[in-house]
Structure 1
Amino acid sequence: MSFPRRAGRGGKLAELAPERTLRRLELSVTRRLDGLLNGEHLGLIPGPGTELAEARLYQPGEDDVRHMDWAVTARTTTPHVRDLIADHELEAWALVDITPSMDFGTGAMVKRDLAVAALAAVGFLTVRLGDRVGAYLLRPDGLQRRPARTGKAALYATLQAVLDAPPAQPGDAAFDAPTLPGAITSLDRGQTRRGLRVIISDFLDPAPDDDPAADPAAPAVSGTDTGPAWERPLRRLAARHQVLAVEIIDPRELDLPDVGLVEMTDPETGAVHEIVLSKRVRREYAAAAAAQRERTRAALRRCGVHHLVLRTDRDWIADVARFALRQRRAAGRSLGGVRT
Structure 2
Amino acid sequence: MTATPDRLLRRLEWQVVRRLDGRLQGAYRTAFRGAGVDFADLREYEPSDDVRHIDWNVTARLDEPYVRQYTEDRELTAWLVLDRSASMRLGAGKDAFGTELAVCLGRLFARGGNRVGAILYDNGFQRVVPARTGRTHILRLAHELIREPATDGRTTDLAGMLRLAATTARRRGLVFVLSDFIGDIDWEPALSQLGQRHEVVVLRLVHPLELDLPDLGLILVEDAETGEQLLVDTNDPLFRQRLSDEVAAREEALTAAMRRAGVTHHRVATDQDLVQTLVDLVRFSHRRRA
The bucket for the TM-score relative to the shorter chain is 0.7 to 0.9
Alpha carbon RMSD of aligned pairs, Å?
2.9
Q: 1:252 & 1:272 partners in 2: Cα distance?
A: 17
Could you list the runs of 5+ residues in structure 2 that have no partner in the other structure? 45-67
Tell me the residue number matched to 1:94.
80
Where 2:268 maps in the other structure, the secondary structure is strand
Between structure 1 and structure 2, the one with the greater Rg is 1
Contact 1:6 1:12 in 2 (8 A): no
| Offset of residue 11 of structure 1 | 4.7
Where 1:94 maps in the other structure, the secondary structure is strand
Q: 1:83 & 1:179 partners in 2: Cα distance?
A: 37
Using structure 1 for the length normalisation, give the TM-score. Answer: 0.70
Identity %: 30
1:155 aligns with 2:138: yes
Aligned residues: 268
| Offset of residue 53 of structure 1 | 4.8
1:97-176 maps to which residues of 2 (within 5 A)? 97-105=83-91, 110-139=93-122, 141-166=124-149, 172-173=151-152
Using structure 2 for the length normalisation, give the TM-score. Answer: 0.81
Q: 2:237 & 2:29 partners in 1: Cα distance?
A: 42
Contact 2:43 2:69 in 1 (8 A): no
1:1-340 maps to which residues of 2 (within 5 A)? 5-9=1-5, 11-15=7-11, 17-18=12-13, 21-31=16-26, 42-48=27-33, 50-51=35-36, 53=38, 66=43, 84-105=70-91, 110-139=93-122, 141-166=124-149, 172-173=151-152, 179-206=157-184, 228-277=185-234, 278-332=236-290
| Offset of residue 104 of structure 1 | 3.8
Counterpart residue identity of residue 51, structure 1: G
Where 1:28 maps in the other structure, the secondary structure is coil
Contact 2:192 2:261 in 1 (8 A): yes
Counterpart residue identity of residue 235, structure 1: S
| Offset of residue 112 of structure 1 | 0.8
Contact 1:13 1:160 in 2 (8 A): no
- CA distance 1:49–1:319, shift in 2 (3 Å): same
Contact 1:142 1:178 in 2 (8 A): no
| Offset of residue 330 of structure 1 | 2.9
Q: 1:295 & 1:51 partners in 2: Cα distance?
A: 37
Counterpart residue identity of residue 261, structure 1: L
Q: 2:182 & 2:168 partners in 1: Cα distance?
A: 24
Higher helix share: 2
Q: 1:137 & 1:145 partners in 2: Cα distance?
A: 6
Where 1:6 maps in the other structure, the secondary structure is coil
- CA distance 1:147–1:230, shift in 2 (3 Å): same
Q: 2:76 & 2:283 partners in 1: Cα distance?
A: 23
Tell me the residue number matched to 1:338.
none
Cα deviation digits, residues 171-215 of structure 1 (max 9, x gap): x4167x971111101111232211111110001123xxxxxxxxx
Extract structure 1 runs of 4+ deviating beyond 4 A: 10-15, 52-55
Contact 1:7 1:13 in 2 (8 A): no
| Offset of residue 236 of structure 1 | 0.4
Could you list the runs of 5+ residues in structure 1 that have no partner in the other structure? 32-41, 56-63, 68-81, 207-227, 333-340
Moved more, 117-126 or 128-137: 117-126
Where 1:252 maps in the other structure, the secondary structure is helix
